[in-house]
């Protein structure tokens, strides 16, 4: 799949803890997607990418207990959202708690994934003092 998720969107959960992906991101993600814990946020990836990740998980031997526990922690928190007729889905309580999401969220197109952040955590982590500093952090990857 050839895509690049872009943009920043400020949204709010409704009273039933539902949200919808912004139309541009929803159109790009295709027919199915998975939501899982990310780095201080929730990560959303196309179902095809998640299946490729799961294939890598399958190669981990059962004798590697620590790695298998990491896999069970990751897969145990992942879910495939069931959208209603308006394209909304519920963010489960465990996911909201993990990402510190109460009401307001920031949805970020982050290249190959989509991130869902609590507004407060996003603002605390993503301060932009200098884009030059951001580019320096990427230099080791030839960017």
Q: Percentage of the chain surpassing pLDDT 90?
A: 78
CATH superfamily of 8-141: Transcriptional regulator MraZ domain (3.40.1550.20)
Q: What pLDDT shows up at residue 137?
A: 82
CA angle 31/36/120 to nearest 5° reads 110
The full set of domain ranges for the chain reads 8-141
pTM of the model: 0.89
Q: Tell me which of 25-29, 30-34, 132-136 is least confident.
A: 132-136
Closest CA to 20 of 112, 107, 95, 78: 107
Could you tell me the pLDDT band of residue 93, with boundaries at 50, 70 and 90? very high
């Amino acid at each position: 799949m050839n895509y690049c998720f872009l943009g920043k969107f400020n949204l709010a959960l409704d009273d039933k803890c539902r949200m919808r992906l912004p139309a541009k991101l929803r159109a790009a993600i295709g027919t199915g997607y998975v939501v899982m814990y990310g780095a201080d946020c929730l990560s959303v990836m196309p179902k095809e990418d998640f299946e490729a990740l799961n294939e890598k998980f399958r190669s981990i031997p059962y004798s590697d207990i620590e790695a298998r526990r990491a896999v069970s922690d990751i897969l145990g928190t992942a879910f495939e959202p069931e959208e209603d007729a308006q394209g909304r889905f519920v963010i489960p309580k465990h996911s909201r708690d993990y990402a510190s999401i109460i009401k307001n969220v920031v949805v970020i197109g982050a290249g190959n994934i989509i991130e869902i952040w609590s507004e407060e955590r996003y603002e605390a982590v993503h301060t932009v003092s200098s884009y030059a500093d951001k580019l320096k952090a990427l230099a080791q990857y030839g960017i």
